[in-house]
Amino acid sequence: MSDSLSTLLAPFERRQTRIGLVAGGLGAYWPQFPQLLPQLKESTAYVVERFQQMDASVTDVGFVSDAPEAAVAAERLRQADCDLIVMFITTYLTSSMVLPIAQRAGVPVLVIDLQPTTKMDHAVFGTGEWLAYCGQCSIPEIGNVFRRSGIPFRSVSGWLRQDSAWERIGQWVRAAGVRARLRHARHGLMGHLYPGMLDVSTDLTLLPTTFGSHVEVLEFDDLRQRGEKVTDAEVRARMDLAREIFELDASVVDEDFAWGATVSVALDRLVEDFDLDTLAYYHRGLDGEQHERLGAGMILGASLLTARGIPAAGEYELRTTVAQLVAQSVGAGGSFTEIQALNFEDDVVEMGHDGPAHLAVSARQPLLRGLGVYHGKRGWGVSVEFDVKAGPVTLLGLGQDRDGSLVFIASEGTVVPGPLLEIGNTTSRVDFGRDPGEWVDDWSQTGVGHHWALGVGHRAADYKAAASLLGVEFRLV
């Protein structure tokens, strides 16, 4: 989100990612080589400093030299309720020092070994100096024991100030942020399934059992009751806010604009009252009755919520709001998207959707457009329209396989400029570097549904790491 937008729309604050940090080496070396431990602790201090600079809360339990000390550290880390534990291997240590941490803390573990410099100085080094460089010796041992214990193994090997190594470490920290978001998320599901969209249907038990999330089942009457209490002054204030954020097209009808503002205020209260992190909704309605008008009036307020970091999606797309939340948590935005058409002259896939949009991915000031018809839906009102900013993007969908398991599905492409529809949709032309029809075939083979989150930047590596920490499969097209 841009600075100006975040000033108008205060970002939704969530629990900070919690990282547990422990360093270790084999205590038998300390009396043999007195200068070794001070050198290793100096490296450890640098690692601690780097982690404290990340967007996370760090619990540092210090340095361990044997298995009993590691067991004590494991208990402290368990009590800290970490989202990821990082074990810094400073020199060789036995796998018996690492296994208790992974077993007792019950949290994904990242093993890092960062030697002091790019290489040893062979002309002057002795055994003591070499031992500061042999943390890598432990990595295959730890990987073997983790595999035999049924514990997923992850490692980053490098040298202490290597930028690429720290980027890989940062990727795991971002993935821990995704795990934290989903582990504690409260997903709102309001209304009913869009008739016939079998791919959208989701077993509500699946999110709690897979991620630890909670699904709050809501009625449109929950929104109606809050809408009835919105005052005229609140409506005017919300319309003023919308005028600062959006360009208003001449097609916007004042009555529809005011209704969208009313629903927006009511949505804010609904989200606050139920402490929601996401919201998926749909209501068909009939002949302009109140619930139909509520369903048609959601787009303005849902887009403002999404911009604040509370993803919203129409058509009852619970799994897509999860994908949006993942994209939001790594700073990619995450806008509700589907395929619109293919352009075989420019080799692009045109994508977009009516309904809630993530303003952070917009190439320009977003537009409010008045629509007399929402395609395939009842009702009328105002919709959000903009072009996605040019540059790298990543799609993330949440698929579900025959056995019921969830899977992360991603594809990286580039948004390129060109003509787009002006129909009140979020729109983009995505170049995947290949024939667009072949891309659609491969994308559809993955089991992804017909909606997904589109976010800025190439983020597949982040999503793959997050899938690893969450224990779900990752597929890349």
Candidates 409, 413, 396; CA nearest to 329 is 396
Q: Measured on CA atoms in the order 411, 5, 426, 221, is the torsion positive or negative?
A: positive
> CA–CA separation, 429 vs 1, rounded Å?
21
- Say what the pLDDT of residue 149 is: 94
- Say what the pLDDT of residue 285 is: 81
**Domain edges within the chain:** 3-182, 185-476
Residue with tokens 């396989």: 401
SS3 337: strand
How does strand 381-387 pair with strand 367-371? Answer: antiparallel
Q: Does domain 3-182 have CATH number 3.40.50.10940?
A: yes
Q: Quote the DSSP letter at residue 249.
A: P
DSSP H or E run through 399: strand 391-400
DSSP string spanning 420-448? ---SSSEEEEEE-SS-HHHHHHHHHHTT-
- Say what the pLDDT of residue 292 is: 85
How does strand 426-431 pair with strand 406-415? Answer: antiparallel
pTM assigned to the model: 0.91
Given a contact cutoff of 8 angstroms between Cβ atoms, the answer to whether 278 and 188 are in contact is yes
> CA–CA separation, 27 vs 19, rounded Å?
25
- Say what the pLDDT of residue 334 is: 87
Given a contact cutoff of 8 angstroms between Cβ atoms, the answer to whether 342 and 440 are in contact is yes
List phi, psi (to 5°) of 213.
-70, 165
> CA–CA separation, 451 vs 440, rounded Å?
13
Q: Quote the DSSP letter at residue 388.
A: B
> CA–CA separation, 334 vs 404, rounded Å?
24
| CATH of span 185-476 | 3.20.14
Candidates 112, 153, 95; CA nearest to 22 is 112
Give me the tens of pLDDT residue by residue for the chain, a chain 477 residues long: 455 666 787 778 888 899 999 999 999 999 999 999 999 999 999 999 999 899 889 999 999 999 999 999 999 999 999 999 999 999 999 999 999 999 988 899 999 999 999 998 999 999 999 999 999 999 999 999 999 999 999 999 999 999 999 999 999 999 999 999 999 999 999 999 988 899 899 989 999 999 999 999 999 999 999 999 999 999 999 999 999 998 888 888 899 999 999 999 999 999 999 999 999 999 988 877 888 889 888 889 999 999 899 999 989 999 999 999 999 999 898 888 899 999 999 999 999 887 677 887 887 888 888 876 665 555 567 888 778 888 999 999 999 999 999 999 999 999 998 887 776 677 889 999 999 999 999 999 999 999 999 999 999 999 999 999 999 999 999
